[in-house]
Structure 1
């Protein structure tokens, strides 16, 4: 099976994650805009999706994202 950017985007939407949230869930660190752009490049086909990331996305699709992988909401008070 070939895993495409469209597959990645579909799964991200099913998981109700933004590009930034997905980047954080899979462990990317750095500036918010940089990691979000990385995800958009995977989804648009501008950057090849590494096999490890395709497998991780399929695991998330089947089993969900573990709660402790999700980013902690920022308290804006």
Structure 2
């Protein structure tokens, strides 16, 4: 591999890293703005997410899932 190929490869890797970081930071900013604009809705979503983690084991088949949903009603 010659020096020009190494240089171009490093530029591509560095550019990709910068692009990825920019996208991640932009996404975090948008999430923070949404939470500031709608704090009640953000708290509700967080409560739902916390409730979903305590459900227990996951079901594999559809019939068992339907039966569990009927029991919850």
Which TM bucket (shorter chain)? under 0.3
Higher relative contact order (CA 8 A, sep 6+): 1
Query: Normalized per residue, which structure has more helix?
Result: 2
Which of these two proteins has the greater Rg computed from alpha carbons?
2
